[in-house]
Amino acid sequence: MESPKVSIIVPVHNAGKYLEKCLTSIISQTLKEIEIILVLDCPTDGSNNIAEGFAAKDKRIVLIYNNENLHTGISRNKGIEAAKGKYIGFFDHDDYCESNMYELLYEKAEEECLDIVRCNFLCVYKVKSECVEEGYKYPDNSTNATDKEWFYENVCSDKISCVIWNHLYKADFLKQNKLYFLDSRTICSEDSIFFINVYDKIEKIGIVPDFLYYHVFHSSNTGKAYAYRSIKNRVSFFEELHKFLKSKGINEDTCNTFLFKNVVRSLYSASRQALLLFPLKKALKEINTLRKNNLIMKQFYFLYKKENLSTLFRLKPTIIIFSLLIRVSTPKKNID
C-alpha–C-alpha distance, residues 75 and 67, integer Å: 11
The candidate with the shortest Cα–Cα distance to 175, out of 29, 7, 3, 2, is 7
CB crowding 269-290: b at 16 or more within 10 Å, else e: ebbebbeeeeeeeebeebbeeb
pLDDT for the residue numbered 335: 64
The candidate with the shortest Cα–Cα distance to 64, out of 3, 21, 2, 7, is 7
pLDDT for the residue numbered 223: 67
67 conformational bin, left if phi > 0, alpha if psi -120 to 50, beta if neither: alpha
Contact partners, residue 32, CB within 8 Å, separation at least 6: none
Amino acid at 69: N
CB crowding 91-115: b at 16 or more within 10 Å, else e: bbbbbbbbebbbbbbbebbeeeebb
C-alpha–C-alpha distance, residues 227 and 277, integer Å: 11
The candidate with the shortest Cα–Cα distance to 188, out of 154, 152, 235, 156, is 235
Phi, psi of 212 (to 5 degrees): -115, -20
List the pLDDT tens digit at each of the 336 positions of the chain: 578 999 999 999 999 899 999 999 999 999 999 999 999 999 999 999 999 999 999 999 999 999 999 999 999 999 999 999 999 999 999 999 999 999 999 999 999 999 999 999 999 987 777 878 899 989 888 989 999 999 999 999 999 999 999 999 999 999 999 999 999 999 999 999 999 999 999 999 999 999 999 999 887 767 678 989 999 999 999 999 999 999 999 999 999 999 999 999 999 999 999 999 999 999 999 999 999 999 999 999 999 999 999 999 999 999 999 999 999 888 776 565
- Element of type H or E holding 233: helix 231-247
pLDDT for the residue numbered 1: 57
C-alpha–C-alpha distance, residues 334 and 301, integer Å: 12
Residue 182, classed as helix, strand or coil, is coil
pTM: 0.94
**Domains identified in the chain and CATH numbers:** 6-223 (3.90.550.10), 225-334 (no CATH)
pLDDT for the residue numbered 333: 60
Question: How far is CA 70 from each of CA 19, 42, 177, 310, rounded to the nearest angstrom?
Answer: 19, 8, 23, 42
For residues 139, 29, 216, 188, the Cα torsion angle rounded to the nearest 10 degrees is -70
Phi, psi of 39 (to 5 degrees): -95, 105
The candidate with the shortest Cα–Cα distance to 94, out of 11, 7, 194, is 11
